[in-house]
């Protein structure tokens, strides 16, 4: 989503926004019908002046002659209003759900690379702020624009019928109105685009403060953060005011033109009656002026709708950009489902890069089913990237990865991920109960299976001390579970999933020695009979691996067992020596 994306044709964006209305055209038709009833009643109310002045007041007819009209009007006004409002709001509510579902679906489907590259604040701002703004434009469109078009058509018809000559005179201002609206519309659009970008920045800052709250407090950086936030926020305010200035100036100019026209026509009408021109009666002129005023409201709504639309189009463009992102990794047409991995996993000359610099270089690797492989190397040597390729979060730039001889790119992604479980350093828990968090590994598991997995991961030992035991809400506990406890929950989740291939990415790095023993025990349970990839900083944890692979700068520099690797000079021996000397290892 580059910021300088050439603006898509505005009309295309608008048409696409309108697509969201399509499933609900039936309801919109009902809304329009009610709007017509409402508008009709309003014009009837204005038109009443003519019979009242000409027939009742001047000609002295009885007032009962118009009683039926009055009754109809009083009934139609509230019914029309209610029906239109309710139907429109219902449609708008459903459209908001649809747009946000589409975004949620897309964000879930987008590859990990997308989420790594983009700022969360930017995405969140597009999904919330920009959607709200586009939605408001639809609101204005359905509520105001549709109604005002009806209103203006009815109004102009009534005006023409009262006096086509006066109507033509009043239409003189129309081109001026359009010029004003078009001029400010462009400014509003450009301003709004800049404002929405800034809004993404502000959201990002908010997120940063929330996620870094502990560090901020520890460094006593509250004041700095607040000042930084204020700076961004005021920038947003200034950009917003630029849009508002254009909007308000546009509305005021329209107001001025309309009033000039109104008074001009009224004076001209009065003069015409005096001169006996165009066959105008005093009733015609009073009714004309009132109908004109009544038409003025939909005109104002129309210009308001137009400017809001100009303001919303850049927002609509921003959320649509997310919807248009490439999905990249998708199943090949001839992708196959894989069963249990019985033979071996192979990396064949696998190279990979996130950008220009290569992160993995011609990695060759062979892991037999059931083996435990440890990946060792300095931070940044490419260990995580290697296992991410195995889970197909990315595809290799060159070379290939095979499971039992089948290229990963030929395997259905769903069936691949059913075989793999990943336990990472950040033990992520979902809102929900302890039991639900374990069951996340396999939603159809029975309670007994969940309990067994939890026991194997030593979860039961701390669950009993929680206020509601298994039913304790993890979200309410918040940060109250320790790192080790959280990690044991994620391991229980992996055990329940019962995968063929296990990936432990620094899963024990953040734990103290005591928790680590529990977790290590849980891991050992999990490893039985499975193919496993262990990434660990503490070499004590990888000692027993069947195979240790040393990565340096994205290339495999040595392969062996603990014994064979310490016997020869190299990175592994250096690291072991280093950690052996450190008291905490």
**Shortest distance, CB of residue 572 to ligand ADP, whole angstroms?**
14
* Contact status: 508 vs ligand ADP (CB under 6 A): no
* Contact status: 381 vs ligand ADP (CB under 6 A): yes
**Shortest distance, CB of residue 354 to ligand ADP, whole angstroms?**
3
Rounded CA separation 537/515 (Å): 16
Give 35 or 359: the residue with its C-beta nearer to ligand ADP. 359
Q: What binding mask, one character per residue, do residues 218-247 give for ligand ADP by CB under 6 A, x or -?
A: ------------------------------
Residues near 192 by beta carbon (within 8 Å), at least 6 away in sequence? 243, 310, 311, 312, 313, 314, 315
- Per CB under 6 A, the segment of 195-203, 259-267, 334-342, 380-388 that binds ligand ADP is 380-388
Give 31 or 503: the residue with its C-beta nearer to ligand ADP. 503
- Per CB under 6 A, the segment of 247-255, 290-298, 382-390, 494-502 that binds ligand ADP is 382-390
Give 208 or 424: the residue with its C-beta nearer to ligand ADP. 424
- Per CB under 6 A, the segment of 3-11, 148-156, 285-293, 377-385 that binds ligand ADP is 377-385
Tokens representing residue 377 in the block: 């190397």
Rounded CA separation 565/582 (Å): 20
- Residue with tokens 């109809």, as numbered in its chain: 72
Rounded CA separation 80/32 (Å): 10
* Contact status: 62 vs ligand ADP (CB under 6 A): no
- Per CB under 6 A, the segment of 231-239, 378-386, 448-456, 560-568 that binds ligand ADP is 378-386
Rounded CA separation 58/51 (Å): 9
Burial (CB count <10 Å: 0-12, 13-18, 19+), residue 583: exposed
Q: Can you name the residues that pair with 366 across neighbouring β-strands?
A: 346
Single out the residue of 82, 161, 219, 354 in contact with ligand ADP (rule: CB under 6 A): 354
Are 321 and 153 within 8 A, CB to CB?
A: no
Tokens representing residue 135 in the block: 């939605």
- Per CB under 6 A, the segment of 60-68, 254-262, 372-380, 510-518 that binds ligand ADP is 372-380
**Pairing verdict, β 344-353 and 531-535:** unpaired
**Shortest distance, CB of residue 367 to ligand ADP, whole angstroms?**
18
Tokens representing residue 529 in the block: 């009979």
**Shortest distance, CB of residue 94 to ligand ADP, whole angstroms?**
37
What residue spans of 324-469 are helical by DSSP H? Answer: 383-390, 413-419, 434-439, 447-456, 460-463
Residue 560: which H helix or E strand, with range?
A: strand 555-560
Among positions 109-168, residues that touch ligand ADP (CB under 6 A) are 116
* Contact status: 200 vs ligand ADP (CB under 6 A): no
**Shortest distance, CB of residue 359 to ligand ADP, whole angstroms?**
4
Q: Which residues bind ligand ADP (CB under 6 A)?
A: 116, 354, 359, 377, 379-385
């Amino acid at each position: 989503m580059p910021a300088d994306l050439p603006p898509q044709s505005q009309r295309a964006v608008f048409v696409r926004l309108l697509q969201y209305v399509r499933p609900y055209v039936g309801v919109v038709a009902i809304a329009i019908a009610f709007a017509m009833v409402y508008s009709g009643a309003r014009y009837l109310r204005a038109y009443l002046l003519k019979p009242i002045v000409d027939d009742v007041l001047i000609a002295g007819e009885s007032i009962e002659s118009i009683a039926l009209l009055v009754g109809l009007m009083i009934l139609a006004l509230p019914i029309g209003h209610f029906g239109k409002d309710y139907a429109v709001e219902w449609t708008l509510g459903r459209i908001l759900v649809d747009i946000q579902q589409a975004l949620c679906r897309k964000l879930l489907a987008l590859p990990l690379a997308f989420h790594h590259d983009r700022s969360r604040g930017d995405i969140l701002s597009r999904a919330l702020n920009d959607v709200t703004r586009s939605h408001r434009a639809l609101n204005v469109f359905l509520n105001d624009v549709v109604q005002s078009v009806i209103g203006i058509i009815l109004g102009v018809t009534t005006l023409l019928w009262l006096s086509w000559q006066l109507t033509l005179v009043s239409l003189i201002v129309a081109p001026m109105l359009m010029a004003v609206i078009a001029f400010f519309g462009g400014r509003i659009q450009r301003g709004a685009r800049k404002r929405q970008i800034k809004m993404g920045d502000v959201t990002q800052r908010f997120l940063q403060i929330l996620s870094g709250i502990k560090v901020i407090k520890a460094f006593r950086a509250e004041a700095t953060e607040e000042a930084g936030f204020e700076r961004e926020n005021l920038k947003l305010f200034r950009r917003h005011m630029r849009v508002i200035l254009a909007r308000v100036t546009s509305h005021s100019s329209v107001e001025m033109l309309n009033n000039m026209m109104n008074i001009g026509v009224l004076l001209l009408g009065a003069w015409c009656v005096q001169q006996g021109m165009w066959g105008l009666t005093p009733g015609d002129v009073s009714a004309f002026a009132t109908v004109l005023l009544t038409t003025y409201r939909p005109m104002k709504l129309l210009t308001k709708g137009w400017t809001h639309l100009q303001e919303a189009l850049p927002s609509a463009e921003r959320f649509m950009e997310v919807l248009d992102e490439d999905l990249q990794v998708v199943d090949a047409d001839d992708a196959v489902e894989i069963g249990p991995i019985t033979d071996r996993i192979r990396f064949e000359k696998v190279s990979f890069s996130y950008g220009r610099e290569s992160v993995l270089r011609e990695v060759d690797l062979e892991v037999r089913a059931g083996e435990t492989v440890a990946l060792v190397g300095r931070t940044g040597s490419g260990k995580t990237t290697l296992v991410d390729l195995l889970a197909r979060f990315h595809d290799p730039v060159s070379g290939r990865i095979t499971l039992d001889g089948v290229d990963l790119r030929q395997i259905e992604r769903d069936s691949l991920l059913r075989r793999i479980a990943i336990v990472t350093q950040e033990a992520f828990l979902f809102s929900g109960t302890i039991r639900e968090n374990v069951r996340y590994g396999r939603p159809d598991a029975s309670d007994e299976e969940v309990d067994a997995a939890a026991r194997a991961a030593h979860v039961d030992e701390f669950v009993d001390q929680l206020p509601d035991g298994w039913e304790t809400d993890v979200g309410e506990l918040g940060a109250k579970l320790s790192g080790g406890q959280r990690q044991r929950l994620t391991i229980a989740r992996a055990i329940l999933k019962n995968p063929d291939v296990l990936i432990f990415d620094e899963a024990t790095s953040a734990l103290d020695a005591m928790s680590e023993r529990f977790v290590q025990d849980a891991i050992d349970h999990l490893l039985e009979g499975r193919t496993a990839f262990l990434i660990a900083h503490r070499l004590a944890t990888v000692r027993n691996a069947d195979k240790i692979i040393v990565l340096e700068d994205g290339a495999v520099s040595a392969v062996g067992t603990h014994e064979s690797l310490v016997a020869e000079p190299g990175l592994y021996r250096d690291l072991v020596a280093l950690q052996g000397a450190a008291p905490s290892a």
